[in-house]
Amino acid sequence: MTAESECSDASGAVSPALRNYLRWKIYSINGYLKSLDARLIVALAGWQTSNKIVGGLAEIGVHHGKLFFLLALSRQIGEKSLAIDLFEDDEMNASTRFGGRSRAFSTHVASLNVALTSTEVLKADSLTLISDDILSRVGRVRIFSVDGGHLYHHVAHDLPLAFSTLAPGGIVIVDDFCNSEWPEVTSATYDFVRAQEGKVVPAILTRNKLYLAPPDIASAYGEFASRFAAREKQMSRAPVEVMGALVVYFLSAISLSFNFHFKPNFKKICSLPAHARKISAPSMPRVERFRFIMSSGALTRSRNTPTLITSATPKA
Ligand SMILES: C[S@@+](CC[C@H](N)C(=O)[O-])C[C@H]1O[C@@H](n2cnc3c(N)ncnc32)[C@H](O)[C@@H]1O
Q: DSSP string of 122-143?
A: EES-GGG--HHHHHHHH-SEEE
C-alpha closest to that of 248 among 52, 40, 50, 3: 40
Please check whether residues 198 and 275 belong to one and the same domain.
no
Ligand 1 site, residue 29, Cβ cutoff 6 A? no
Residues 90-122 as b or e (16 or more Cβ within 10 Å = b): eeebeebebebbbbbbbbbbeebebebeeebbb
Q: Which of 85, 96, 112, 184 to mutate to test the pocket of ligand 1 (most atoms within 8 A of CB)?
A: 85
Please check whether residues 269 and 245 belong to one and the same domain.
no
Is 44 inside a domain boundary?
Answer: yes
> Can you tell me whether residue 269 is helix, strand or coil?
helix
Please check whether residues 24 and 147 belong to one and the same domain.
yes
Please check whether residues 25 and 145 belong to one and the same domain.
yes
Please check whether residues 197 and 168 belong to one and the same domain.
yes
**Going by CA atoms, what residue is nearest to atom 9 of ligand 1?**
31
The CATH number linked to 129 is: 3.40.50.150
* CA of 259 relative to ligand 1 center, distance in Å: 19
Please check whether residues 247 and 282 belong to one and the same domain.
no
Task: Tell me the C-alpha to C-alpha distance, in Å, between residue 305 and each of 25, 299, 312.
Answer: 26, 11, 21
197 contact partners, CB below 8 Å, separation of at least 6: none
Ligand 1 site, residue 38, Cβ cutoff 6 A? no
| pLDDT band at residue 96 using 50, 70 and 90 as cut-offs | low
Ligand 1 site, residue 151, Cβ cutoff 6 A? no
Please check whether residues 38 and 178 belong to one and the same domain.
yes
Q: What is the pLDDT of residue 88?
A: 85
Ligand 1 site, residue 133, Cβ cutoff 6 A? no
* CA of 33 relative to ligand 1 center, distance in Å: 12
| pLDDT band at residue 229 using 50, 70 and 90 as cut-offs | confident
* CA of 162 relative to ligand 1 center, distance in Å: 15
Q: What is the pLDDT of residue 226?
A: 87
**Going by CA atoms, what residue is nearest to atom 18 of ligand 1?**
125
**Going by CA atoms, what residue is nearest to atom 23 of ligand 1?**
148
Please check whether residues 129 and 195 belong to one and the same domain.
yes
Strand partners, 228: none
| 141-146/166-175 β-pairing | parallel
**Going by CA atoms, what residue is nearest to atom 22 of ligand 1?**
85
Please check whether residues 116 and 135 belong to one and the same domain.
yes
Q: What is the pLDDT of residue 164?
A: 98
115-126 per-position pLDDT tens digit: 999 999 999 999
Is 315 inside a domain boundary?
Answer: no
Secondary structure E strands in the chain: 56-60, 81-85, 121-123, 141-146, 166-175, 201-205, 209-213, 236-237, 240-242, 245-251, 278-280, 298-301, 306-309
Of residues 1 and 94, the one with the higher pLDDT is: 94
Q: Is 34 left (phi over 0), alpha (psi -120 to 50) or beta?
A: beta
- In this structure, how many other beta carbons lie within 10 angstroms of the beta carbon of residue 261? 18
| pLDDT band at residue 228 using 50, 70 and 90 as cut-offs | confident
**Going by CA atoms, what residue is nearest to atom 11 of ligand 1?**
61
Q: Which of 211, 229, 251 is the last residue of a domain?
A: 251
Q: Which of 251, 278, 297 is the last residue of a domain?
A: 251
Q: What is the pLDDT of residue 217?
A: 97
- In this structure, how many other beta carbons lie within 10 angstroms of the beta carbon of residue 74? 24
> Can you tell me whether residue 156 is helix, strand or coil?
helix
Query: Which structural domain, as residue segments, surrounds residue 274?
Result: 262-309
C-alpha closest to that of 203 among 47, 61, 75: 47
Strand partners, 59: 83, 145
9 contact partners, CB below 8 Å, separation of at least 6: 50
| pLDDT band at residue 180 using 50, 70 and 90 as cut-offs | very high
Please check whether residues 202 and 300 belong to one and the same domain.
no
Strand partners, 309: 278, 298
* CA of 61 relative to ligand 1 center, distance in Å: 3
Per-residue pLDDT at 13 exceeds 90: no
Please check whether residues 245 and 271 belong to one and the same domain.
no
Please check whether residues 100 and 151 belong to one and the same domain.
yes
The count of domains in the chain is 2
253 contact partners, CB below 8 Å, separation of at least 6: 299, 301, 306
Q: Which of 147, 173, 176, 185 to mutate to test the pocket of ligand 1 (most atoms within 8 A of CB)?
A: 147
- Tell me whether residue 161 is exposed, middle or buried, using C-beta atoms within 10 angstroms of its C-beta: 0 to 12, 13 to 18, 19 or more: buried
Per-residue pLDDT at 36 exceeds 80: yes
Q: Which of 204, 225, 251 is the last residue of a domain?
A: 251
Q: Which of 126, 151, 177 to mutate to test the pocket of ligand 1 (most atoms within 8 A of CB)?
A: 126
Is 314 inside a domain boundary?
Answer: no
Q: What is the pLDDT of residue 207?
A: 86
State the average pLDDT over residues 227-240.
Answer: 76
* CA of 291 relative to ligand 1 center, distance in Å: 23
Ligand 1 site, residue 66, Cβ cutoff 6 A? yes
- CB-side exposure of 202: number of CA atoms within 13 Å? 23
| pLDDT band at residue 254 using 50, 70 and 90 as cut-offs | low
Is 292 inside a domain boundary?
Answer: yes
Per-residue pLDDT at 136 exceeds 70: yes
Of residues 228 and 50, the one with the higher pLDDT is: 50
State the average pLDDT over residues 244-255.
Answer: 75
| pLDDT band at residue 260 using 50, 70 and 90 as cut-offs | very low
Lowest model confidence (mean pLDDT) among 43-52, 278-287, 307-316: 307-316
Is 93 inside a domain boundary?
Answer: yes
**Chain CA centroid to CA 292, Å:** 23
Is 316 inside a domain boundary?
Answer: no
Ligand 1 site, residue 309, Cβ cutoff 6 A? no
- In angstroms, the CA 32 to CA 13 distance is 26
**Going by CA atoms, what residue is nearest to atom 14 of ligand 1?**
148
Is 59 inside a domain boundary?
Answer: yes
